[in-house]
Amino acid sequence: MSERRLPHSPLFSPARRVAGTDETIFSTITALSVQHDAANLGQGFPDEDGPEEMLRLAAEHITGSPTVVPNNQYAPGRGQMDLRKAIAADRASRYNQHIDPDSEILVTVGATEALAASVLGLVERGSEVVTLEPTYDAYPAIVKLAEAQLRPVRLLRNEELGWALDRAAFAEAVTNDTSAIILNSPHNPTGIVLGRDDLEFIASVVRGSRAIVITDEVYERLIFNGEHIPFGTLDGMAERTVTISSAAKTFNVTGWKTGWVCAQPDLLHPIIAAKQFLSYVGATPFQSPVAWALTNADDWSHSWRATLAQRKKDLSTALEELGFRVIPSQGTYFLITDIAPLNTGESADEFCMRLPETVGVSAIPVTAFVTSPHSPEVRTLVRWAFCKNPETMARAIERLRSHFG
Domain ranges of the chain: 20-50+299-404, 69-296
pLDDT higher than 50, residue 19: yes
The conformation of residue 7, written as its DSSP 8-state character, comes to P
Please give the average per-residue pLDDT across 170-179, as a whole number: 98
Cα separation values, 233 from 91, 163, 237, 255, 370, Å: 10, 24, 7, 30, 29
* Of 124, 20, 367, 87, the residue nearest 246 (C-alpha): 87
* Of 275, 315, 239, the residue nearest 107 (C-alpha): 275
Distance CA 366, CA 374 (A): 11
Residues 97 and 88: beta-carbon distance below 8 Å: no
Cα separation values, 216 from 207, 256, 308, 346, Å: 20, 18, 20, 33
Cα separation values, 48 from 58, 62, 290, 381, Å: 16, 21, 17, 27
Q: What is the pLDDT of residue 7?
A: 52
Please give the average per-residue pLDDT across 304-316, as a whole number: 98
Q: Please, what is the average pLDDT of the chain?
A: 94
Residue 42, Cβ density class (10 Å: 0-12 exposed, 13-18 middle, ≥19 buried): buried
Please give the average per-residue pLDDT across 66-83, as a whole number: 96
Give residue 252's region: left, alpha or beta (phi > 0; psi -120 to 50).
left
The conformation of residue 6, written as its DSSP 8-state character, comes to P
pLDDT higher than 80, residue 126: yes
Q: What is the dihedral of CA 183, 189, 191, 194, to 10 degrees?
A: -20
pLDDT higher than 50, residue 240: yes
pLDDT higher than 70, residue 2: no
Could you name the CATH architecture of 20-50+299-404?
Answer: Alpha-Beta Complex (3.90)
What's the half-sphere exposure (Cβ side, CA atoms, 13 Å) at 216?
Answer: 29
The conformation of residue 239, written as its DSSP 8-state character, comes to G
Q: What is the pLDDT of residue 74?
A: 96
* Of 106, 405, 371, the residue nearest 262 (C-alpha): 106
Q: pLDDT category, 266, cuts 50, 70, 90? A: very high
* Of 167, 145, 138, the residue nearest 154 (C-alpha): 167
Radius of gyration, alpha carbons of the chain? 22
Domain 69-296 class in CATH: alpha beta
pLDDT higher than 90, residue 373: no
Distance CA 373, CA 281 (A): 36
pLDDT higher than 60, residue 8: no
pLDDT digits (tens, 9 = 90+) for 312-332: 999 999 999 999 999 999 999
Q: Give the DSSP letter string of 76-129.
A: PTT--HHHHHHHHHHHHHHH-----TTTSEEEESHHHHHHHHHHHHH--TT-EE
Return the percentage of the chain with pLDDT > 90, whole number. 89
Q: To 10 degrees, what angle do helices 138-145 and 110-122 make?
A: 40
Distance CA 303, CA 45 (A): 18
Q: What is the pLDDT of residue 160?
A: 85
Distance CA 401, CA 399 (A): 5
pLDDT higher than 90, residue 399: yes
